[in-house]
């Protein structure tokens, strides 16, 4: 096996293929590979060969499928060194809890994506309270997290419930944040929806963000655009007193917002850009695959 021939690999991308079913999960041991001490980054979908437990110095882990088949082994737990964690195709809070257990308690960077894409079509699922449950679990890292990418754009919550602690306001070191717009605004309504929004749209974004925020990236996923513009205007008004470190606001939106938003950002000294953030892609043969990189252009 290639891994056995290159024991000093620092970065491995391992994706499951049915041909590996014929191998025993002890294949690496049979080849004399008991540890991969140089491995720092691992992207994996199924850990058939127990790569995780052989990588005691792993710093970044990308798990690209859920549920994830594999066990961390004795190399993790309190001795984990994983401070960057990327999780794709998350479809339940319980699955998220299991995968978060791989990381250290002072996790620095976290990417969570619930979305899959099949031949250019979104797969959507409904789970009331899903977004709030996810945020609640992320709060365990509010003392250490610096970068958060939370992409739940294919989660349809017909009756999202408001929770007072559904916020990142008290995250002490959080500087870079990515959110989908429905997550920001739809978690603001009360359970019954009788009295309308629990929080006004103008304060929807500001109630979520911590004072340490440096860059905010939003992806539009069907929210009424007037509500988003109100939230951005409220963010601008709060920069002087609450968000003095905010330098950049990016938006994935195919059209252009009202000019009042552009001018307000400019006067506040905030760079406002339009960006492109493709979703995680899993297509069949011949499917068109989006670029891995996001594309941004500035507002003059």
In this structure, are residues 189 and 218 in contact, taking their beta carbons and an 8 Å threshold? no
Beta strands in 159-233 (DSSP E): 176-180, 215-219
The pair phi, psi for residue 205, each rounded to 5°, is -80, -40
| DSSP reduced 3-state for 13 | strand
Q: Is residue 93 part of a domain?
A: yes
Q: Is residue 202 part of a domain?
A: no
Q: Is residue 21 part of a domain?
A: yes
Helix ranges, 139-258 (H): 181-186, 225-238
More confident residue, 82 or 5: 82
Q: Which residues are CB-neighbours of 287 under 8 A, at least 6 positions away?
A: 118, 119, 120, 281
Q: Is residue 178 part of a domain?
A: yes
Range among 7-16, 120-129, 137-146 rated most confident: 137-146
| DSSP reduced 3-state for 62 | strand
Q: How confident is the model at residue 86 (pLDDT cuts 50, 70, 90)?
A: very high
pLDDT beyond 50 at 78 = yes
pLDDT beyond 90 at 188 = no
Angle, helix 93-100 to helix 130-138, in steps of 10 degrees:
20
Please compute the mean of the pLDDT values over residues 131-139 and round it to a whole number.
86
Percent of the chain with pLDDT strictly greater than 90: 45
Q: Which domain holds residue 163?
A: 2-196
Phi-psi region of 193 (alpha: psi -120 to 50; beta: other; left: phi over 0): left
Bridge partners (DSSP) of residue 42 are: 12, 61
pLDDT attached to residue 200: 86
pLDDT attached to residue 38: 92
Beta strand 271-275 pairing with 296-298: antiparallel
Tally of domains within the chain: 1
pLDDT beyond 70 at 196 = no
Q: Is residue 143 part of a domain?
A: yes
pLDDT attached to residue 90: 82
Q: Is the pTM value of this prediction over 0.75? A: yes
Q: What are the structure tokens assigned to 96, written together?
A: 């998220």
Report the CATH number that the domain containing residue 22 is assigned in CATH: 3.80.10
Q: What are the structure tokens assigned to 112, written together?
A: 């969570």
Q: Count Cα neighbours of 296 within 13 Å in the Cβ-side half-sphere.
A: 16
Q: Is residue 261 part of a domain?
A: no
Mean pLDDT of the chain: 79
Q: Is residue 64 part of a domain?
A: yes
Choose among 104, 52, 51, 109: nearest CA to 82.
Answer: 104
Choose among 50, 55, 59: nearest CA to 85.
Answer: 59
pLDDT beyond 90 at 241 = yes
Q: How many residues does the chain have?
A: 300
In this structure, are residues 216 and 246 in contact, taking their beta carbons and an 8 Å threshold? yes
Q: Is residue 208 part of a domain?
A: no
Choose among 214, 233, 215, 216: nearest CA to 225.
Answer: 233
pLDDT attached to residue 197: 53
pLDDT attached to residue 41: 95
Q: How confident is the model at residue 298 (pLDDT cuts 50, 70, 90)?
A: very low
Q: How confident is the model at residue 177 (pLDDT cuts 50, 70, 90)?
A: very high
For 15-27, write each residue's pLDDT tens digit: 766 455 445 556 6
Distance between CA 158 and CA 152 in Å, rounded? Answer: 14
Find the range with the poorest average confidence among 82-96, 150-164, 178-192, 218-232: 150-164
pLDDT attached to residue 162: 55
Please compute the mean of the pLDDT values over residues 81-108 and round it to a whole number.
89
Q: How confident is the model at residue 186 (pLDDT cuts 50, 70, 90)?
A: confident
In this structure, are residues 28 and 6 in contact, taking their beta carbons and an 8 Å threshold? no
């Amino acid at each position: 096996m290639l891994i056995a021939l290159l024991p000093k690999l620092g970065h491995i991308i391992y994706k499951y293929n049915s041909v590996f079913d014929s191998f025993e999960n002890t294949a690496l041991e049979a080849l004399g590979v008991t540890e991969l001490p140089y491995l720092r980054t691992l992207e994996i979908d199924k850990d058939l060969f127990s790569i995780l437990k052989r990588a005691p110095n792993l710093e970044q882990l990308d798990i690209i499928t859920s549920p994830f088949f594999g066990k961390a082994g004795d190399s993790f737990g309190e001795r984990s060194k994983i401070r960057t964690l990327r999780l794709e195709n998350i479809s339940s809070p319980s699955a998220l809890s299991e995968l978060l257990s791989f990381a250290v308690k002072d996790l620095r960077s976290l990417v969570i994506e619930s979305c899959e894409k099949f031949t250019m079509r979104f797969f959507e699922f409904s789970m009331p309270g899903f977004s709030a449950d996810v945020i609640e679990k992320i709060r365990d890292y509010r003392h250490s997290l610096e970068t958060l990418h939370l992409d739940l754009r294919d989660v349809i919550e017909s009756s999202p419930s408001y929770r007072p602690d559904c916020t990142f306001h008290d995250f002490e070191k959080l500087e870079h944040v990515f959110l989908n717009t429905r997550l920001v605004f739809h978690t603001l309504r009360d359970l019954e929806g009788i009295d309308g929004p629990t929080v006004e749209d103008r304060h929807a974004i500001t109630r979520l963000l911590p004072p340490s925020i440096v860059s905010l990236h939003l992806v539009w996923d069907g929210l009424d655009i007037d509500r988003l513009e109100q939230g951005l205007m409220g963010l601008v008004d709060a920069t002087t007193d609450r968000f003095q470190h905010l330098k950049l606001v990016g938006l994935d939106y195919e059209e252009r917002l009202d000019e009042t938003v552009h001018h307000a950002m400019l006067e506040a000294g905030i760079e406002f850009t339009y960006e492109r953030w493709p979703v995680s892609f899993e297509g069949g043969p011949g499917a068109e695959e989006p670029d891995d990189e996001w594309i941004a252009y500035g507002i003059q």
